[in-house]
Structure 1
Amino acid sequence: MKEKCTIDDIARLAGVSKTTVSRVLNHKPDVGSATRKRILRIVEEQGFVPNITAAGLAGGRSHLIGVLLPSFTSLYVLDIMRGMAEAVDDTLYELVLYSINDRASTKDKGDVIERILTSKLTAGLLAIMPGQLSSYVTRLHKPGFPVMTIDDQEAIPSVPRISADNRGGAYIAVRHLLSLGHSRIAHIKGPAHYLCARERYQGYCQALEEAGLAVEPGLVLEGDFQENSGFQAARRLFSLPSEQQPTAIFAGNDLMAYGVLSAAAEQGIAIPSELAVVGFDDLSSSALVRPALTTVRQPFHEMGRLGVKRLLTQLSTQLYIETSHNGMHGRKFYEREAPAATEHIQLATSLVVRASCGASHQQVNPT
């Protein structure tokens, strides 16, 4: 097997210093045209792939962006990651993933954060739903190491974040059900400690109150954002006396809505003629279930794309100046026109109308 070519090999073959090779690979302007062409030709002939981690450490700036992920079993994470990958595609940066097992202890999760901080391999961090790790993420966010959270379970006042308009999305979903003539609309909430679950409940309440309808405690149940909790909650609603049962259910996410569909099928309840169902997320599978699910679309792809763009904006404001004191040389970091630390970008949601609520199919209504 051919040994891996190094930057030293390229420099030796080109008859130049390693610094000159590095300047060519980093697109620095002060290298002669003939020398540049010779180095690039040798790089291509040798199939040389720069070690961006080592290059970053040597140059004082990493070209790796850390991404802190919840479990890959979360379907929406893939959409967020596609947006991130698209955003870095035409840049000098690459993504390095830190996936944390949902079953790991808070201490073990915190240890992962500590390794990110102490390794100094990444230029910044994007944290997707850090949840219990929020306090650790806050510690990471400091001058020289920008951090941004995406769709977090809690708002971290000191860290910029990107989220969807959960309240507005829930509001238009319930308003749609009201427009179809439903007045007994149940809601299966997500866990109360999730910010998005509380915001969606607020949107549900707002829509009912504006329609002159009281929120009935018996029609509001809490799930855990998993399909089985939606199934069990729907069973409880179906066990109510017939005059108290809902004619529509707004589930706090698509997975719980799938559970509602399963429970309705078990009970022989026809959807949408006997029960309308609306979810929240617009997972790719929501167009494939039967009946196809009406749901609120979250802009997951845009969250990931914009998260990287905003982080790169912060990195572009970071400058280093050479320092010298008592014969010791070094670098000093300072920041210029950086985005506000408390920046919150809230992206619009939209209603995707399909068969499960009994209205016209494939109609998207932006907020």
Structure 2
Amino acid sequence: MIISTTKELRLHIPSNAIDEIGSLQGILDNSEKDFLRDKLGDSLYRKLCEYYQSVSPDDFYMSVTNGEHTHQPWMQLLVLAQRMVTYDAMSRFAYTQALSINGTGINVASSEDYSAASKDLLDKGVQGYKREAMVSLNQMLVMLEGWAREMATPAAIAPDADTTEQSTTEPKDEEHKAIEEISLLWQESNYYYLHHDLLIATCADLQNYLDIYESREKFIRLLPDLHFIQDEYISEAIGEPMVQHLLTTTDPADKPLLRKVRRLMAAHLEERTTILTIDKARRSAAHNEAISLRASVLRLVEMRKTVEKANTENQNTNSDNQNPSTNINDDKGYENNQPGSKFFVSPLLY
């Protein structure tokens, strides 16, 4: 568990009037296991739970309220994880809490201190909790993505700091160690931001071609569609070797083709996905765009092949000119009976 006090609960939902956290433990635990754990991955989730057990809830509460948690990566992660779990739990809790089960039946629960919420207000409240849970999820994934990118830089992997700098920046080094540990553990999760086997490898990549409101959660749900499109449409069109080349290339000359292929994938995605809300007219337009883009991609690929073939032939010609195998103008003259020779030259008679 990563929430154990009502003070922590009020960090995220100040208006709650829950006196005893025990009444929510089952719902909070369900939200942790069902909504949080897969986003972090089992290893990072377990480590976060261990971290929570190592800190005092009161100290944690004070660190968040005075802002000290911003210098402690594990505490930053804990705050956003708690917020996700709290809002998700409230969306699960609201409807069931409105009912009271007794020995003779089920009644509507009420309080003498508060007026009962109308059905319309209750519905809006639940939708608000769900929306905030998704916002919190995206914030957490954005933070983890930023840390993972930071750790992927050469400076983060092998910092070039002398002894003096290390001694004066020790707190920062500890912060970087924590970020590195979190990032490495997060790589085991399906929600890790970088999918090396896809031509559209990150949410930011897809956002450049299709507006998904920079939702990391939506991007993860779109991965099966993206894999299908790449395997069945893109590889079929340009060949698996070209796909592997585009996955690893850093040559600026490959960028125009990569952009075209990504646009083609985005068009196919709009055409087939059920994750995004896309009307019939737009799906039809995306289908037509996919046909046009596929033809354009194939033209680019053929042009590349033609240029590469011409370059290869030029290199072979230049090589033959520089190292001729049958040069009759050298000092020795042409020699008969050479391997591959089809000529016989008579010696000069004068």
Length-normalised TM-score, structure 1: 0.22
| Higher relative strand content | 1
Structure with greater contact order relative to length (CA < 8 Å, sep ≥ 6):
1
Q: TM-score, normalised by structure 2?
A: 0.23
Name the structure where helix makes up a greater proportion of residues.
2
Larger Rg: 2
